[in-house]
Amino acid sequence: MKYMLGIDVGTSNVKAVLFDEFGQEICVASKESETINATGNQAEQDMTVIWENVKACVKHVAASRPEVKDSIIGIGVTGQGEGCWLVDGEGKPVQNAILWCDGRAVNEVGEITKEYPKIGRLYHRTTGTPPLLGNQMMLLKWMKENRKEALDRADKMIFCKDWIRYKITGEIKTEITDSLTSLIDVHSGEIALELMKALDIEEYRSYLPEPVRSDEVVGTILDSFADEAGLKRGLPVIAGALDTSATAVGLGAIHEKDVCVILGTTCANEIVLKKEDCDFGAENSRYEKHPLGELYVELQPTLNGTPNIDWILENIAKTKDFNEIDKMVADAPVGCGGVVYHPYISVAGERAPFYHPYARASFFGISQVTTREMLIRAGYEGISMSIRDCLQNVDKNATIFLAGGGAKSPVWAQMIADVLGMKVMIPSGKELGAKGVALMVGVSQGLYRNYEEAVERACTFRHIYEPNPVNTKKYDLLYELYRKVRIHNQEIWDYRHQMNKKIKALSKEEEIS
């Protein structure tokens, strides 16, 4: 039996997972990661702490299964994408990492989209992604304009998984799925230098490593790390992939028109397409690279997934027992009597299927007959409606591969099937991002002839949910209301933002007087 080690550096947790060649999770080690909120719209993490957490997880896995040490064939790393991870010439962090969910570049994004729309359109057509708050390109511009001294101390700007892989191998590299989030010209496959010039950041071109293929071996583990972690020396390490792209592979979504929903901190909605079927620069579109060949992913990654549920459990529910919550949700009526929840709870607003930095969550339609159970169910329905909002153009005959923490709830999985009117499949195992890079390791090392064989041997499903046609008809009606309120609220969100600015100004005047 051969084994692969997958490392997943998520926003909330880091994990090391040992897989056998049949995709079974043999051992999982996890540690929580702290997100630092310097101000209301900023999100950072200490790069050194993240590495120490990863190292602890790898050591735990190795110590738990010492008998398979010589049968591990390689390591793959996946992790949160975008953000700004800066290292100096010695490979040391310049500052805390700025995360994908950070909102500090709001003025830069607003300037490009409103005052310089030509640059905004160039950005979208070139990278396949519109300018968004967490994009590395936008954060590079923010750094130049707001923290240039720190930026100039840096030597390379990489991504989360690249930082961890560098600490494992001593090699600074990046790869195509991460780079294509905003740095690559999708037409040429090269770093988007014309766009960098338009943004007045071309002086930092040398900060961006040339991307390589996801399953390319980019180094071997350092002897010092192998000895400390309890691993075999010389293990090959592949480039890895962005977490959403790696999860697609881990789910078995390796064919055109496959659909994935990763229901976690962000709710990542993906449709696998051939490059010629991608409409780069189309309104509300966002494309990223699939790890395989010429496949791409039409991605609608909301900023707002399970944190909505966290807030509801903290502030509305009287229990945090998910079995009880599932029962409460199941007992409440479909549509909650016309109560609609819009799940835009992030301080950075929303980015999919629309961009609005000041979008905020809200309940609509509450009356004196609204119950606690209805409010909780409305929260789940609101996120499900957001998924439908992101997948408006999907082929209804396709199957949804559902992963992430939210996939643990059978009630929610059935609700998603009903809201979209599509079959939902829940994979065996939980660590699909780590599994994706593990399968890439297997292909790179010849354990599998190709990805078709890898998926056939290693990807199985534990449950399938068929949509209830009566509930789907009800949700068709509720979705229209959801959309109308969401569109109407955009003007109100802007008004609220301006109002808050005026209130803060008045508060400062009070302090002075």
70 and 149 share one domain: yes
Q: Is 467 part of a structural domain of the chain?
A: yes
Tell me how many degrees the CA angle 397-401-402 measures, rounded to the nearest 5.
Answer: 125
Smallest Cα–Cα separation from 239: which of 182, 301, 158, 299?
158
C-alpha to C-alpha distance for 491 and 459, rounded to whole angstroms = 45
What b/e readout covers 215-229, taking b as 16+ CB neighbours within 10 angstroms?
A: bebbbbbbeebbeeb
In this structure, the strands spanning 241-242 and 72-79 are parallel
Q: Is 279 part of a structural domain of the chain?
A: no
Give one word for 440, left, alpha or beta, with left for phi > 0 and alpha for psi -120 to 50: alpha
180, 128 Cβ separation under 8 angstroms: yes
Is pLDDT of 503 > 80? yes
Global pTM? 0.85
Sequence letter at residue 312: I
Alpha helices in 81-116 (DSSP H): 106-110
What b/e readout covers 263-287, taking b as 16+ CB neighbours within 10 angstroms?
A: bbbbbbbbbbbeeeebebbeeebbb
Contacts of residue 163, defined as CB under 8 A and 6 or more positions apart, other chains included, come to 47, 50, 51, 85, 87, 97
In the prediction, which pLDDT does 450 show?
96
Is pLDDT of 239 > 80? yes
Strand partners, 274: 295
Is pLDDT of 296 > 60? yes
Q: Is 263 part of a structural domain of the chain?
A: no
Is pLDDT of 412 > 60? yes
- CATH value at residue 70: 3.30.420.40
476 and 397 share one domain: yes
Which of 214, 239, 264 is the C-terminal boundary of a domain?
239
Q: What is the DSSP letter of 44?
A: E
Is pLDDT of 509 > 80? no
Q: How far is CA 223 from the centre of its chain?
A: 32
The token pair at 283 is 């309104």
Sequence letter at residue 100: W
pLDDT band at 512; cut points 50, 70, 90: low
C-alpha to C-alpha distance for 145 and 147, rounded to whole angstroms = 6
C-alpha to C-alpha distance for 94 and 74, rounded to whole angstroms = 30
C-alpha to C-alpha distance for 18 and 2, rounded to whole angstroms = 10
In the prediction, which pLDDT does 513 show?
54
Sequence letter at residue 269: N
Which of 210, 239, 268 is the C-terminal boundary of a domain?
239
Mean pLDDT of the chain, nearest integer? 95
350 and 211 share one domain: no
Strand partners, 87: 93, 156
Contacts of residue 254, defined as CB under 8 A and 6 or more positions apart, other chains included, come to 248, 272, 290, 292, 295, 451, 452, 455
Sign of the alpha-carbon torsion through 288, 78, 270, 285: negative
The token pair at 415 is 């609700």
281, 121 Cβ separation under 8 angstroms: yes
Smallest Cα–Cα separation from 246: which of 31, 7, 12, 467?
7
325, 376 Cβ separation under 8 angstroms: yes
Tens-place pLDDT, residues 361-408: 999 999 999 999 999 999 999 999 999 999 988 888 888 999 888 899
362 and 231 share one domain: no
Is pLDDT of 502 > 90? yes
* Secondary structure of residue 277 in the 3-state scheme: helix
Q: Is 264 part of a structural domain of the chain?
A: no
468, 418 Cβ separation under 8 angstroms: yes
How many other CB atoms sit within 10 Å of the CB of residue 46? 17
Smallest Cα–Cα separation from 235: which of 15, 69, 87?
69
**Domain enclosing residue 225, as ranges:** 3-239
Percent share of the chain, pLDDT over 90? 88
C-alpha to C-alpha distance for 346 and 352, rounded to whole angstroms = 12
Strand partners, 18: 5, 27
Q: Is 192 part of a structural domain of the chain?
A: yes
Is pLDDT of 40 > 80? no
Q: Is 35 part of a structural domain of the chain?
A: yes
144 and 23 share one domain: yes
Q: What is the DSSP string of 353-367?
A: SS-BTT---EEES--
308 and 405 share one domain: yes
87 and 175 share one domain: yes
215 and 319 share one domain: no
Tens-place pLDDT, residues 98-143: 999 899 999 999 999 888 999 999 999 999 999 989 999 999 999 9
203 and 332 share one domain: no
pLDDT band at 424; cut points 50, 70, 90: very high
- Biggest CA–CA distance in the chain, Å, is 75
The tally of domains found in the chain comes to 2
In this structure, the strands spanning 156-158 and 85-87 are antiparallel
Q: Is 218 part of a structural domain of the chain?
A: yes
Sequence letter at residue 308: N
209 and 310 share one domain: no
54 and 130 share one domain: yes
For 179, counting Cβ atoms within 10 Å of its Cβ (0-12 exposed, 13-18 middle, 19+ buried), the class is: buried
Tens-place pLDDT, residues 57-77: 999 999 999 999 999 999 999
In the prediction, which pLDDT does 383 show?
98
73, 446 Cβ separation under 8 angstroms: no
Q: Is 258 part of a structural domain of the chain?
A: no
C-alpha to C-alpha distance for 482 and 490, rounded to whole angstroms = 13
41 and 151 share one domain: yes
Is pLDDT of 510 > 90? no
Q: What is the DSSP letter of 406?
A: G
Secondary structure of 199-237 as H, E, C letters: CCCHHHHHHCCCEECCCCEEEECCHHHHHHHCCCCCCEE
* Secondary structure of residue 446 in the 3-state scheme: coil
C-alpha to C-alpha distance for 80 and 265, rounded to whole angstroms = 11
236, 216 Cβ separation under 8 angstroms: no
Which of 208, 223, 239 is the C-terminal boundary of a domain?
239
pLDDT band at 457; cut points 50, 70, 90: very high
Tens-place pLDDT, residues 349-370: 998 999 899 999 999 999 999 9
Q: At which residue do the structure tokens 């929840």 appear?
A: 341
